[in-house]
Structure 1
């Protein structure tokens, strides 16, 4: 088995990483693709009370179990299946249930801080940063957190001002310099998506 292609898609919250991932998935001729979200690897917080868990800064590097994430990626690259964790954003804790992910020819790793972590960067064959204006990102974050994560408008705004924005400026934005490709405006940038698809298909053809 050839080593899978590992593609990293980073960018700030609400930048359009998931849209880019979907566009790549749809366009790749070989649909043998697995997607791993860094959000699934937030640390287990069972030892904390709910009140303490609410205070977690989910945009800080310390919030992620990147050791487990790296181990899982290495297993997939070796052709081994993994049990990917799941996270409950309403209860602010890892779920007991896991999801089995089988090895694939192409693995997409998506997350805000995957380019910040050197160990994760070193595993990536293609490093992508989705660069979207902050006003667009915050509106998308508000809509997502209220609809999908049971949050109130006030709590989303307070979190953005207190933790999300400072962490973006300190950790996420500087990691852009490690990207091979920077995509302005995310999945709506068809030219950039086409270039990435061409590169992926070129790597696939060389491996065959």
Structure 2
């Protein structure tokens, strides 16, 4: 079983992390490169009512079960498979289903707070930070949450002002200093995509 190299794509919400991760992996087979989202590791809080879950701070490190993610990354790096939790943004709960991810040459991990956690950083081989203006991030988040996740715009803006923006300045932006590569212009930065793809190709060849 292959032992995985972990590439983290971090940065503010709406900076293009998901698009960038998909773009750099789209020229590789699923047995060569796999994507895991930090969002799947949001804590499962069924003891809270839907109203209580709706107002939780999902941009604070305490919102994530990083301990489980750390265990899973360690397993992947040692050649083992994992069951990745899946998150339902509508109910704010984990789904009953999980996603089986087998250890492969490259795992691309994307999420807002990956570089803010020292234990995670110690397991990550290449650290990428997506750098984008906050007004662009906000407009993307409004579109995503209202169109793709069925939320009303007022609640999206309230969450942004109360949680997303303050946590960006407290946790996300300070983690930028740990990045090996800083990518501007969002997930469509072709030069950055090609550079990372070339590196992934090199890593995969070295694994053979």
TM-score by length of 1: 0.94
Task: Give the length in aligned residue pairs.
Answer: 208
How far apart are residue 29 of structure 1 and its match? Answer: 7.6
8 A Cα contact 2:105 2:207, kept in partner: no
Equivalent residue number for residue 99 of structure 1:
99
How far apart are residue 28 of structure 1 and its match? Answer: 4.2
Equivalent residue number for residue 49 of structure 1:
49
Q: Secondary structure at the match of 1:58?
A: coil
Q: Secondary structure at the match of 2:135?
A: helix
Equivalent residue number for residue 134 of structure 1:
134
Q: In 2, Cα distance between the equivalents of 1:12 and 1:124?
A: 18
Equivalent residue number for residue 196 of structure 2:
196
Stretches of structure 1 that go unaligned for 5 or more consecutive residues are none
Equivalent residue number for residue 87 of structure 2:
87
8 A Cα contact 1:127 1:181, kept in partner: yes
8 A Cα contact 1:76 1:103, kept in partner: yes
Q: In 2, Cα distance between the equivalents of 1:84 and 1:15?
A: 23
Q: In 2, Cα distance between the equivalents of 1:165 and 1:17?
A: 17
Q: Secondary structure at the match of 2:113?
A: coil
Q: In 2, Cα distance between the equivalents of 1:89 and 1:203?
A: 34
8 A Cα contact 1:6 1:107, kept in partner: yes
Equivalent residue number for residue 115 of structure 1:
115
Q: Secondary structure at the match of 2:99?
A: strand
Q: In 1, Cα distance between the equivalents of 2:143 and 2:108?
A: 25
Q: In 2, Cα distance between the equivalents of 1:145 and 1:174?
A: 25
Alignment of 1:183 with 2:197, yes or no, is no
Do the aligned partners of residues 151 and 61 (structure 1) sit closer, same or farther apart at CA in structure 2, a change above 3 Å counting?
same
Equivalent residue number for residue 37 of structure 1:
37
Q: In 1, Cα distance between the equivalents of 2:31 and 2:49?
A: 42
Q: Secondary structure at the match of 2:116?
A: coil
Q: Secondary structure at the match of 2:97?
A: strand
How far apart are residue 116 of structure 1 and its match? Answer: 0.5
8 A Cα contact 2:22 2:35, kept in partner: no
Alignment of 1:22 with 2:22, yes or no, is yes
Stretches of structure 2 that go unaligned for 5 or more consecutive residues are none
Q: Deviations over 1:46-80 (max 9, x none)?
A: 11111211111111100000001111111122222
Q: Secondary structure at the match of 1:80?
A: coil
Q: In 2, Cα distance between the equivalents of 1:148 and 1:124?
A: 30
Q: Secondary structure at the match of 1:45?
A: coil
TM-score by length of 2: 0.94
123-132 or 98-107, which moves further after superposition? 98-107
Q: In 1, Cα distance between the equivalents of 2:2 and 2:103?
A: 11
